Amino acid sequence: MKSAILTESNKPLVVGEVDLPKNLEFGQVLVKVCYSGLCGAQINEIDAVKGPDKFLPHLLGHEGSGIVEKIGDGVKRAKVGDHVVLHWRKSSGIQSPTPKYFWNGKKVNAGWVTTFNEKAVVSENRITVIPKDFDLRTAALFGCAVTSGFGAVNNDAQVKIGQSVLIIGLGGMGLNIAYAASMVSAYPIIGVDVHKSKIDMGKKFGLTHGIVANSNNLKSEIYSILEKNGPEITFETTGNAKVMEQAYELAPKDGKVIFVGVPDNKISIYSLPLAFDKTLSASHGGNSIPDKDIPRYIKLIKNKKMTLENFITHEFTLSEINKALDLFRSGKAGRIILKIN
């Protein structure tokens, strides 16, 4: 099967033919991957942001959709032919052993879910069955972007009606946060990004105000919109350490700051306000529970209460994955989709 393999940190992925394991182990599910999203987590893995990569070579990808082709012993949450979302957050079901693939006679490592490959051996607790009439292309976004972004709003921040929200970074995650904030009637919802085109896109998903990030008067612009009060809730999605520090400083003394992006370096903040009313926390996938959250979102989409199609701005094939990653790094795309099968 064709797969994109990380063979060396900070290098392009290698697209090659990888052999599947001969047998499924307890709790494993074989899925034909149809679509995969790209996420900042893969950029972090490629760049070894968390330190030297001990698992090279390995497969990547953690949000996708597909069709079940085979199930291992013990699997009860899916059957052959089911359409599923592949997600990195744990759900109910068995956590299986991680699979071992082979490429040119060498072992290739993988986690409990991968999606940059035509077929994937996935742990039962990393899939959620969806209706067969639901679009697999947009379903891939449930693997991370939607569940993490909506979860950051609903679970981490618990945004209330009428609360003011600031979102720094309007990639796929920031756009979903804006959308979720609008659905719970936050106001105003201010987006900050270096690309004006992203701000324009964000206004289609709930932003009420947008500011270009290279503004020399960012704080004054934000506070003028809020009539001299700072944002009640600030989401930082870029993972840039300096921007994360700035997000914390922009929040007022009683503000709530949530780091959604994974930091690319250590950060330094003045912590005294945390002893009073300022709060700072980090989101881990929005604390979402995929097999509970995904059916709710599907219900909203089917009843035309929300839509995901407009989040996808570009589509590539698996063979074009390095081109897709370059576009992702440029910051000029919304959510990028890979058509795998």
Residues in contact with 36: Cβ distance below 8 Å, sequence separation at least 6, in sequence order: 61, 63, 64, 115, 116, 140, 337, 338, 340
> Which tens digit of pLDDT belongs to each residue from 16-58?
999 999 999 999 999 999 999 999 889 999 999 888 999 999 9
Among 28-37, 145-154, 223-232, the range scoring the smallest mean pLDDT is 223-232
Over 80: is that where the pLDDT of 221 sits?
yes
Residues 88 and 285 sit within 8 Å (Cβ to Cβ): yes
- Provide the pLDDT for residue 309: 83
Read off the pLDDT of each residue in 118-146 and give the average, rounded to a whole number: 97
Among 108-112, 202-206, 226-230, 287-291, the range scoring the smallest mean pLDDT is 226-230
Read off the pLDDT of each residue in 141-162 and give the average, rounded to a whole number: 97
Task: Report CA torsion sign: 329, 308, 180, 63.
Answer: negative
Over 70: is that where the pLDDT of 215 sits?
no
Over 90: is that where the pLDDT of 262 sits?
no
Domains defined along the chain, listed by start: 2-143+308-339 (3.90.180.10), 145-285 (3.40.50.720)
- Provide the pLDDT for residue 340: 97
Read off the pLDDT of each residue in 202-211 and give the average, rounded to a whole number: 95
User: Taking all residues of the chain, what is their mean pLDDT, rounded to a whole number?
Assistant: 95
Q: What's 272-296 look like in SS3?
A: HHHHCCCEEEECCHHHCCHHHHHHH
> Which tens digit of pLDDT belongs to each residue from 299-312?
999 999 999 988 99
Read off the pLDDT of each residue in 136-145 and give the average, rounded to a whole number: 96
Q: Residue 255 — left, alpha, or beta (φ > 0 → left; ψ -120 to 50 → alpha)?
A: beta
| Residue 107, CA distances (Å) to 2, 67, 102, 114 in order | 15, 25, 5, 15
Over 80: is that where the pLDDT of 216 sits?
no
- Provide the pLDDT for residue 334: 86
> Which tens digit of pLDDT belongs to each residue from 311-324?
999 999 999 999 99
| Residue 288, CA distances (Å) to 174, 255, 279, 282 in order | 16, 23, 21, 14
DSSP state at residue 103: E
